[in-house]
């Protein structure tokens, strides 16, 4: 059965040898890029296009044409490649449309070696874009899947290649399009035979992170577009001659010839990376990406079903003939049945993907190292300060309403690129509404202490120092674990004088380090300067702050992270309303966290609002103090 995909939806591939067929109704240039887990392409030698049509495991046509055929052998692509992106671009000077929105929507089909169609995708919703990522074939847990992308680019092929991380993308785009424009007639060519040239560079594994996709442009004003593609096949096409396989090693050939039987069994640390921590980090981000996209595909399918139902009901009501007898009732029943079928199919795909992610989460969570693990993970009981810093730290969990019990660890890369703000008001969530102001403020400081403990535990002894400002002394109880274990660089600063002294010390440190970096004179720093990264926790802001102190605080938030000085605010933004817009840049520069569950984290990547769960300690647990005691004990003794 063929899977008819919508944008963002994925489908497993039963074989590694594939053919991708494109029907556009007008000439298009077809190509492919090989990328790492983030989809980033390290160089032009990893782009298959009409001028250079062959890469290991991928061959594309040499000419623009209305019907294109791409040959893919996923077993032959290099191990460092995790994504194969299929690209379409409009040729220059061909007399065809200037943008995809002024022509019929391209139809893309993925077929197996026997010619049977595995999945297809009609790329609708395009406007003034002249280049598009049609499909993405990606490696997940040792198996390959296809994802419908449909990501268009108004800036054309250059913008598309640049978004995939290619350096000087405009040069390669010009080479491709200029070569194509020299052909007199864009006639379709034969399916090329795969070859296996050796690229000059191997893509290095990089850290995946969600990126903001360019906003879709508005359709051009050229009248309504008929998306019923004239060349769309309703039955499986006749088998095409299979492309000659590329030479591969014996293990590769064996792997490619075996058909997966059901979903692959998840394995902790099966993502790309040099160390186990890096592989687990990449795997967690892969889970985040899969959850984001499968939820986006489900919502998109439901929205489409609703809009089609509304349109069909309007058409039924507007036809006078449908009002006579039972014709109108039959039309409405048929429309609702089609709607229910679409929603049911979308729900089936969602349930399948969520079930697989839940199984993966059950495997990955127990294997996480302390910096990534929940506080109730037994790994904390065997904690010892690390010899090397962690590459990330867990600041909570994220989930979506489609399945609230499926939580993805919220990992933030180290060193911190921006400060943290633990909101002592926590918006208007249901959990916050059940608590009074005093309890929320207490929970906010408890959360800040837990975050600080994680940051201390993720660094080698002596490489992370902690300062606290508690001007009114209201946080003594919550700060006790930090004070009692001796992990603080100095006792919590009290009153306006204490606030001024701490801020002056840290701003002077930032000034010294910035001057040393700008002048390339790191050796000229004072010999007694502490080289550890610094974290300043500010509690009960703006109590004890005058205008000068506020200015210094903003300076630390803006300039501190670049030289290893970080800020964690524990405050209610409304408490600082007297300063007006002066502090708005401060709040915007900080990552807002909440002490209770809240859905405040906006995701511009696919438009989701993620619900955030703070990393709570188990009731009565002493693991926090045990970890801080280990940190304090391992800290090197400073000699006078």
Q: How many domains does the chain have?
A: 2
Kindly tell me if the per-residue pLDDT of 437 is higher than 90. no
Which residue segment(s) compose the domain that 450 sits in?
414-522+529-634
Average pLDDT over residues 447-455: 96
Average pLDDT over residues 416-438: 81
Q: What does the alpha-carbon distance between residue 582 and residue 572 come to, in Å, rounded to a whole number?
A: 15
Residue 298 lies in a domain: no
Q: What is the pTM of this model?
A: 0.65
Q: How far apart are the first and last CA of the chain?
A: 76
Q: How confident is the model at residue 191 (pLDDT cuts 50, 70, 90)?
A: very low
By percentage, how much of the chain surpasses pLDDT 90? Answer: 48
Residue 363 lies in a domain: no
Kindly tell me if the per-residue pLDDT of 176 is higher than 50. yes
- How far are the Cα atoms of 23, 66, 88, 269, 584 from residue 26, in angstroms, in the given order? 8, 5, 12, 45, 51
Residue 75 lies in a domain: yes
CB-facing half-sphere around the CA of 140: CA atoms within 13 A: 24
Average pLDDT over residues 300-312: 86
What pLDDT is recorded for position 10?
A: 87
Q: Which residues pair with 111 in a beta bridge?
A: 19, 117
User: Is the Cβ–Cβ distance between 445 and 594 less than 8 Å?
Assistant: no
CATH number at residue 429: 3.40.50
CATH number at residue 147: 2.60.60.30
Of 189, 218, 249, which residue sits at a domain end?
Answer: 189
Of 189, 221, 254, which residue sits at a domain end?
Answer: 189
Kindly tell me if the per-residue pLDDT of 142 is higher than 90. no
By percentage, how much of the chain surpasses pLDDT 70? Answer: 83
Element (H, E) at 132: strand 131-140
Residue 290 lies in a domain: no
Residue 514 lies in a domain: yes
Residue 202 lies in a domain: no
What pLDDT is recorded for position 522?
A: 66
Task: Dump pLDDT digits (tens) for 380-415.
Answer: 999 999 999 999 999 999 999 999 999 999 999 999
Q: Of 71, 55, 68, which is closest to residue 16 (Cα–Cα)?
A: 71
Residue 445 lies in a domain: yes
Q: Which residues pair with 21 in a beta bridge?
A: 69, 109
Of 132, 167, 189, which residue sits at a domain end?
Answer: 189
What pLDDT is recorded for position 531?
A: 79
């Amino acid at each position: 059965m063929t899977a008819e995909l919508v944008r963002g939806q994925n489908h497993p591939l039963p074989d590694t040898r594939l053919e991708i067929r494109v029907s556009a109704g007008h000439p298009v240039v077809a190509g492919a890029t090989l990328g790492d887990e983030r989809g980033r392409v390290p160089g032009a030698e990893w782009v298959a296009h009409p001028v250079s049509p062959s890469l290991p495991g991928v061959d594309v046509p040499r000419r623009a044409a209305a019907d294109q055929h791409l040959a893919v052998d996923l077993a032959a692509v290099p191990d460092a490649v995790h994504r194969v992106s299929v690209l379409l671009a409009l040729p220059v000077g061909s007399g065809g449309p200037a943008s995809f929105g002024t022509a019929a929507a391209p139809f893309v089909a993925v077929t197996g070696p026997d010619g049977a169609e595995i999945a297809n995708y009609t790329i609708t919703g395009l406007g003034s874009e002249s280049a598009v990522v049609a499909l993405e074939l990606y490696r997940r847990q040792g198996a390959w899947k296809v994802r419908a992308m449909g990501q268009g680019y108004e800036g054309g092929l250059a913008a598309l290649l640049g978004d995939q991380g290619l350096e000087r993308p405009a040069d390669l785009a010009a080479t491709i399009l200029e070569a194509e424009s020299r052909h007199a007639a864009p006639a379709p060519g034969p399916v090329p035979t795969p070859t296996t040239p050796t690229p000059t560079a191997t893509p290095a594994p990089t850290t995946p992170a969600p990126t903001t996709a360019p906003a879709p442009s508005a359709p051009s004003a050229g009248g309504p577009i008929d998306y019923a593609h004239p060349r769309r096949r309703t039955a499986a096409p006749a088998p095409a001659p299979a492309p000659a396989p590329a030479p591969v090693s014996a293990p590769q050939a064996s792997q490619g010839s075996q058909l997966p039987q059901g979903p692959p069994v998840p394995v902790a640390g099966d993502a790309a990376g040099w160390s186990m921590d890096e592989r687990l980090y990449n795997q967690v981000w892969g889970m985040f990406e899969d959850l984001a996209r499968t939820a986006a595909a489900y919502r998109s399918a439901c929205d489409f079903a609703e809009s089609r139902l509304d349109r069909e009901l309007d058409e039924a009501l507007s036809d006078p003939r449908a009002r006579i007898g039972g014709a109108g009732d039959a039309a409405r029943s048929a429309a609702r049945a089609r709607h229910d079928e679409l929603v049911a199919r979308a729900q089936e795909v969602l349930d399948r993907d969520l079930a697989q992610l839940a199984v993966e989460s059950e495997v990955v969570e127990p294997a996480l190292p302390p910096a990534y693990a929940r506080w109730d993970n037994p790994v904390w009981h065997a904690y010892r300060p690390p010899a090397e810093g962690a590459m990330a730290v867990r600041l909570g969990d994220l989930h979506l309403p489609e399945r609230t019990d499926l939580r993805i660890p919220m990992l933030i890369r180290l060193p911190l690129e921006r400060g943290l703000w633990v909101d002592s008001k926590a918006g208007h969530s249901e959990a916050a509404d059940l608590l009074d102001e005093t309890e929320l403020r207490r929970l906010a400081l408890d959360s800040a202490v837990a975050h600080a403990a994680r940051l201390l535990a993720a660094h080698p002894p002596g490489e992370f120092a902690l300062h606290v400002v508690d001007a009114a002394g209201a946080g003594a109880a919550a700060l006790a674990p930090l004070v009692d274990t001796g992990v603080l660089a100095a006792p919590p600063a009290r009153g306006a004088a204490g606030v001024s002294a701490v801020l002056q010390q840290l701003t002077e440190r930032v000034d010294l380090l910035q001057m040393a970096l700008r002048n390339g004179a790191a050796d000229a720093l004072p010999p007694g300067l502490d080289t550890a990264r610094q974290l300043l926790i500010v509690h009960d802001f703006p109590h004890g702050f005058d205008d000068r102190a506020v200015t210094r605080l903003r300076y630390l938030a803006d300039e501190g992270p670049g030289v290893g000085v970080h800020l964690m605010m524990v405050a209610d933004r409304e408490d600082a309303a007297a300063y007006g817009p002066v502090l708005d840049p401060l709040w915007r520069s900080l990552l807002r966290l909440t002490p209770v569950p809240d859905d405040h984290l906006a995701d511009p990547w696919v438009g989701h609002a993620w619900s955030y769960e703070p990393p709570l300690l188990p009731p009565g647990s002493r693991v926090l103090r045990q970890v801080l005691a280990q940190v304090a004990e391992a800290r090197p003794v400073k000699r006078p």
